[in-house]
C-alpha cells in the first residue's frame, strides 16, 4: 500500500513538473507577443532543456520565432547578429525535422508561411521567411556600407533558408567571390545550375573564372565552358572562353575547329580573330597570322593586341632580313644587300603605324616606346627618334640605352 501511494505521489510530481514546463512554454509565447524578448528567450531555453517539452516541435518553433525577432531587433549587424540568425535557422530546421520533414502538418505550414506586406500582422508568417527577409535586409545594408564580409554572411543565411530564391542565392555567390571565399562562391553558383528555368549564364561565367583563375584548373573550366555553350550556343563570351582554354590546354586542333565555327557566327570578333592568328603563327603560317592580326584592327582600330601583334610580325620579318644580310658573303653582299635592306626598311615602315597606335592605347608602356625609338632610328627619322629618347629618359633615366 505504501508503495502504491509512493508511486501515485511520484506520478503526481512528474505531472506537476511536466505541466509546469508546459506553462513555461506558454509564458514564453506570451512574452514573445508582448515584446519581452529577453524574458521569453530565457523561458524557452529552459523548456528546450526539459526532457518532455524539449522533445516537442512547438517548443523549437517558438524558440526560433523569439530568436528571429531578436535577430530583427539587433541593429548592430555584427558577426554576433549572424550567429543569432544561424541559431534561429537551426531552431526552425529542428522543428521541421521533428515534424518528420512533412510540409503539410499544421506546424510546418506555419513554419513556412509567407510574409506578405499587404496582409495584417496577425496573418504574417513568423518562421523561415520572416528570418530570410530580415537577413536579406541586413545583407543589403552591409553591401551598401561596403562591408562585403558581413554582407556575404547575411546573404548566405538568407540563401540557405530559401535556396529557391535565385536572386538571393546569386548574391550569396557574388559576395562570396568578392571576398575570396571560393568554396562558398562555388557552392551557391553551382546550386543555380540545378534550377531548370533559371538563366544560368552569369553563374557559368563566375564558375569558369573561379576554376581557371582562382583554382588553376583549366580542365574544369573547359568542362564548364563546354557545358554552358550547349545551353547558350550564341554567346560570344563563352566562345572566347572555350577557345582560350583549349589553347591553354594545348588542344590546338580542337581550338582551330572551335575558332572557325565561332567566326562563322561572329566574323568581326577581334578576340577570336587574334586567337586564330596565334594558331596560324604557331603553325608557322606567318602570312596567315599577319592577315588575322590586321583584320582585328580593321574590326576595331582601338584593339591593342591586334595592333601590337601585327606590328610584331612586320618587325620580325624585317629583323630576319637584316640577319640574312649580315650572313651574306662579300659577293652576295655586293649583289643583294641594297635590295634586301630596302625591303627590311619597307617592313619597318609597315610596322610603324601599328606600334604607334599601340603606344597611344598604352602610353606608359616603355617596351613599345623602345621599339618605336629603334624603328625611327633605323629609318633615320631623327626628330621622332629623339622624341622617344626624351620620353624614355624622363621615365627610365638618361642612361636607359645602356641598361
pLDDT over threshold 80, residue 2: no
Q: Tell me, what DSSP letter sits at residue 179?
A: T
Give the residue carrying C-alpha cell 538563366. 199
What per-residue confidence (pLDDT) applies to 133?
Answer: 95
What per-residue confidence (pLDDT) applies to 24?
Answer: 80
Q: How much is the mean pLDDT over the chain?
A: 90
Mean pLDDT to the nearest integer, 262-291? 89
What per-residue confidence (pLDDT) applies to 21?
Answer: 59
Mean pLDDT to the nearest integer, 322-347? 91
- pLDDT band for 10, please (50, 70, 90 cuts): very low
Q: Tell me, what DSSP letter sits at residue 210?
A: I
State how far the Cα of 360 lies from the Cα of 372, in Å rounded to an integer. Answer: 12
First to last CA, the chain: 111
What per-residue confidence (pLDDT) applies to 15?
Answer: 43
Total length of the chain: 403
Q: What separation in angstroms does the CA of 220 have from each of 23, 183, 216, 227, 246?
A: 58, 15, 9, 10, 12
Q: Which is higher by pLDDT, 125 or 93?
A: 93
Q: What separation in angstroms does the CA of 305 have from each of 259, 260, 272, 309, 311?
A: 17, 20, 12, 6, 10
Q: Of the ranges 122-136, 141-155, 253-267, 294-308, which one carries the lowest mean pLDDT score?
A: 253-267
Q: Which of 371, 370, 368, 324 is nearest to 343 (CA)?
A: 324
Q: Which of 371, 320, 337 is nearest to 379 (CA)?
A: 371
Contacts of 79 (CB under 8 A, 6+ apart): 150, 153
pLDDT over threshold 50, residue 6: no
What per-residue confidence (pLDDT) applies to 375?
Answer: 95
pLDDT over threshold 90, residue 291: yes
What per-residue confidence (pLDDT) applies to 122?
Answer: 67
Mean pLDDT to the nearest integer, 310-337? 91
What per-residue confidence (pLDDT) applies to 255?
Answer: 85
pLDDT digits (tens, 9 = 90+) for 342-400: 999 999 999 999 999 999 999 999 999 999 999 999 999 999 999 999 999 999 998 89
State how far the Cα of 317 lies from the Cα of 107, in Å rounded to an integer. Answer: 80
- Cα 59 to chain centroid distance, Å, stands at 41
pLDDT over threshold 50, residue 13: no
pLDDT over threshold 80, residue 45: yes
Mean pLDDT to the nearest integer, 10-35? 68
pLDDT digits (tens, 9 = 90+) for 294-306: 999 999 999 999 9
Q: Which is higher by pLDDT, 287 or 123?
A: 287
pLDDT over threshold 50, residue 146: yes
State how far the Cα of 295 lies from the Cα of 353, in Å rounded to an integer. Answer: 15
Statement: the pTM of the whole predicted model exceeds 0.85: no
pLDDT over threshold 50, residue 149: yes
pLDDT over threshold 80, residue 260: yes
What per-residue confidence (pLDDT) applies to 225?
Answer: 92
CA 3, 8, 11, 12 torsion-angle sign: negative
Is residue 292 classed as helix, strand or coil in its secondary structure? helix
pLDDT over threshold 60, residue 17: no
Give the residue carrying C-alpha cell 549587424. 77
pLDDT > 70 in the chain, percent: 94
Q: Of the ranges 129-143, 230-244, 281-295, which one carries the lowest mean pLDDT score?
A: 230-244
Q: Which of 327, 296, 293, 322 is nearest to 310 (CA)?
A: 293
Amino acid at each position: 500500500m505504501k508503495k502504491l501511494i509512493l508511486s501515485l505521489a511520484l506520478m503526481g510530481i512528474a505531472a506537476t513538473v511536466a505541466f509546469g514546463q508546459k506553462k513555461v512554454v506558454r509564458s514564453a509565447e506570451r512574452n514573445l507577443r508582448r515584446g519581452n524578448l529577453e524574458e521569453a528567450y530565457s523561458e524557452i531555453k529552459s523548456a528546450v532543456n526539459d526532457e518532455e517539452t524539449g522533445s516537442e516541435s512547438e517548443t523549437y518553433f517558438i524558440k526560433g520565432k523569439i530568436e528571429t525577432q531578436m535577430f530583427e531587433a539587433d541593429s548592430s549587424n555584427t558577426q554576433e547578429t549572424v550567429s543569432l540568425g544561424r541559431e534561429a535557422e537551426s531552431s526552425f530546421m529542428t522543428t521541421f525535422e521533428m515534424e518528420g520533414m512533412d510540409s503539410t502538418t499544421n506546424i510546418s505550414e506555419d513554419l513556412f508561411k509567407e510574409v506578405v506586406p499587404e496582409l495584417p500582422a496577425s496573418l504574417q508568417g513568423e518562421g523561415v521567411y520572416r528570418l530570410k527577409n530580415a537577413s536579406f535586409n541586413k545583407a543589403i545594408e552591409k553591401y551598401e556600407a561596403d562591408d562585403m564580409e558581413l554582407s556575404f554572411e547575411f546573404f548566405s543565411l538568407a540563401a540557405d533558408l530559401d535556396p529557391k530564391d535565385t536572386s538571393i542565392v546569386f548574391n550569396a555567390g557574388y559576395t562570396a567571390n568578392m571576398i575570396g571565399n571560393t568554396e562558398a562562391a562555388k557552392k551557391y553558383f553551382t546550386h543555380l545550375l540545378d534550377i531548370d528555368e533559371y538563366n544560368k549564364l552569369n553563374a557559368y561565367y563566375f564558375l569558369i573564372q573561379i576554376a581557371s583563375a582562382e583554382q588553376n584548373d583549366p580542365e574544369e573550366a573547359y568542362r564548364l565552358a563546354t557545358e554552358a555553350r550547349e545551353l547558350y550556343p550564341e554567346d560570344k563570351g563563352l566562345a572566347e572562353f572555350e577557345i582560350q582554354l583549349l589553347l591553354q590546354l594545348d588542344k590546338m586542333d580542337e581550338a582551330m575547329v572551335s575558332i572557325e565555327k565561332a567566326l562563322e557566327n561572329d566574323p568581326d570578333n577581334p578576340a577570336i580573330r587574334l586567337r586564330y592568328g596565334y594558331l596560324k603563327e604557331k603553325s608557322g603560317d606567318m602570312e596567315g597570322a599577319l592577315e588575322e592580326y590586321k583584320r582585328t584592327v580593321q574590326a576595331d582600330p582601338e584593339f591593342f593586341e591586334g595592333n601590337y601583334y601585327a606590328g610584331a610580325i612586320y618587325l620580325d620579318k624585317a629583323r630576319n632580313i637584316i640577319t640574312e644580310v649580315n650572313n651574306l658573303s662579300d659577293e652576295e653582299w655586293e649583289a643583294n644587300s641594297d635590295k634586301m635592306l630596302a625591303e627590311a626598311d619597307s617592313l619597318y615602315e609597315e610596322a610603324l603605324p601599328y606600334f604607334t597606335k599601340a603606344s597611344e592605347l598604352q602610353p606608359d608602356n616603355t617596351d613599345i616606346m623602345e621599339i618605336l625609338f629603334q624603328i625611327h632610328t633605323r629609318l633615320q627619322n631623327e626628330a621622332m627618334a629623339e622624341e622617344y629618347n626624351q620620353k624614355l629618359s624622363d621615365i627610365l633615366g638618361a642612361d636607359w640605352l645602356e641598361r
